[in-house]
Structure 1
Amino acid sequence: MSRPREFNVDRALHQSLEVFWTKGFKSTTFEDLTRTTKVKKQSLYCVFKNKRDLFLKALVLYREERISILEEMASREMSPLEKLETIFDYSQYQNKETCRGCFMVNSALEFGNDDQEVCREVSLMFDQIESILEKIIREGQEQGLVTKCQSSKELAAYLNNALSGMRFMEKAGASNEQINAILHTSFALIKAENAR
C-alpha cells in the first residue's frame, strides 16, 4: 500500500514556478524550492524526478495558464483592436512591479538551443500566441479595422515578435515610455487607414 501524499502538488508546482521565474533554472537550488514549498526534498522527488523535471512541468503550467487567459481575452465581446490592446496591456503590466519579464522568454534566453524540451515548450507557446493573434487580426481585417497589406499570418508573427521584444525590454529594465512607444507604433502599423 503506497503512502499518501503529504503535500498539495498543484500548490507546490505553482510555488516552484514562481521561484524559477524569479531566479531562472540554473540559479535555483533545491534548497530554494524546499524552503518556498515547505516540502522535503525526498517528498518532491517522489512526484518530480529532479529539478529539471520540476522546471519543465512549471514551464508547461505557465504556458497553459497564460494561453488560457489570452483565449479568454480573445473571446470577449469587443472589437478586434480592443482585444489586441487588452492582450498587449496584460502582457505589459502583469509583472510591472517585479520586472521579471516573461518566464518563457527568460527560459529561451537562458537555455538557447541547448535543451530540446525547453525549446519545444517555448515554440509551442509562441505558436499558440500567434494563432490567437492571427484569429483576432483576421476578424479585424474582415471588419476593415486592420490593414490587408499583409496577411493575417504575417501580421500575427509581427505582433508576436513585438510582444516578445517588449518582454525582453521589460526584463532589461526599459522604461514604460520606451515600451509604450513600441506598442503605439505596432498598433499604428497594423490599423487600416480608415481606423487610424
Structure 2
Amino acid sequence: MARPRTFDEEAATDAAMRAFWAHGYEGTSTQDLCAATGLGRSSIYNTFAGKHELFERSLARYTDRKTGSTLELLAGELPTLAKIRTLLDAAVDPPADEPPGCLVVNSLIELAPHDAVVAEHLRADEEVRLVALTTAIEAGQRDGEIAADKDARGLAQFVVATICGIRVLARGGADRTALTAVAATALTALV
C-alpha cells in the first residue's frame, strides 16, 4: 500500500515554478528542484512523473496567475491607456520577491522551438492575452484615446513584445531608467 502524501502539491509546484523562472528549464536540475520544494527525488518522480511534467505544471501555474491578473486589469474600469501603462509599469517594477524576467519569455526562447507541448501552451496563452488586449485597444480607439488609424491587433502584439523586451532587458541587468524609457516610448506609439 502506497504511503499518503505528506506535502502540499500546490506549494511544491509554486516552489518549482520559482526555480524554473530563476534558472530556466535546463539550468534547473532535479537536485535544485528537491532543494526548492523540500521534496526528495522519489517524491518528485512519484508525484509529477519527472522534471518535464513538473515544469508543465509550473508553467501552467505561472500563466494562470499572470494572464489572470492581466485579464482582470483589461476588463476593469480604467481608461485604456491607463490599463496599458499599468501593464508596462508592472514589467518595469515587478514585485521585489519575484525572480527577474519572465517564465513565459524564458520558455519561448529555451523550449518552444523544440518542445511542442510547451509551444502550444505558450501559443494558447499568448492568444488569450492578445484577444483581451486587442479588445481593450479597440475600446480605446472608440473613446479617442488610441489612434483609430492603427491596427488594434498589431498594437496589441506591439505591447506584448514591448513587455517581453522589458523583461529581457531587466533580466540582463538594465537599470530602471532604461526600462522606464522603453515603456514611455511604447505609450507614445499608441496615440
TM over 0.5: yes
Would you say 1:146 and 2:146 are equivalent positions? yes
**CA deviation vs aligned residue, 1:15-40 (integer Å, no higher than 9, x gap):** 01011111111121111111221112
> Which residue of structure 1 lines up, in the alignment, with residue 122 of structure 2?
122
Unaligned runs of 5+ in 1: 192-196
How many angstroms apart in 2 are the aligned matches of 1:43 and 1:112?
27
> Which residue of structure 1 lines up, in the alignment, with residue 31 of structure 2?
31
Equivalent residues in 2 for 1:42-191, closer than 5 Å: 42-94=42-94, 100-191=100-191
Tell me the CA shift for residue 125 of structure 1. 2.4
Conserved 8 A contact 1:99-1:170: no
**2:157 is matched by which residue type in structure 1?**
A
> Which residue of structure 2 lines up, in the alignment, with residue 14 of structure 1?
14
Runs of 4+ in 1 over 4 A off after TM superposition: 95-99
Tell me the CA shift for residue 135 of structure 1. 1.4
* 3-state SS of 1:156 partner: helix
**TM-score if structure 1 supplies the norm length?**
0.90
**TM-score if structure 2 supplies the norm length?**
0.92
RMSD: 1.7
Would you say 1:5 and 2:5 are equivalent positions? yes
| Identity in percent | 25
Conserved 8 A contact 1:19-1:32: yes
* 3-state SS of 2:120 partner: helix
* 3-state SS of 2:14 partner: helix
Tell me the CA shift for residue 98 of structure 1. 6.1
Tell me the CA shift for residue 65 of structure 1. 0.7
**2:185 is matched by which residue type in structure 1?**
T
Tell me the CA shift for residue 112 of structure 1. 4.9
Conserved 8 A contact 1:95-1:101: no
How many angstroms apart in 1 are the aligned matches of 2:156 and 2:47?
38
Conserved 8 A contact 1:105-1:122: no
Unaligned runs of 5+ in 2: none
Tell me the CA shift for residue 69 of structure 1. 0.7
**CA deviation vs aligned residue, 1:87-135 (integer Å, no higher than 9, x gap):** 1112222156766201110122222511111212222222222122111
* 3-state SS of 2:156 partner: helix
Tell me the CA shift for residue 178 of structure 1. 1.6
Q: How many residues align structurally?
A: 191
Instruction: Name which of structure 1's ranges 157-166 and 87-96 shifts more when overlaid on structure 2.
Output: 87-96
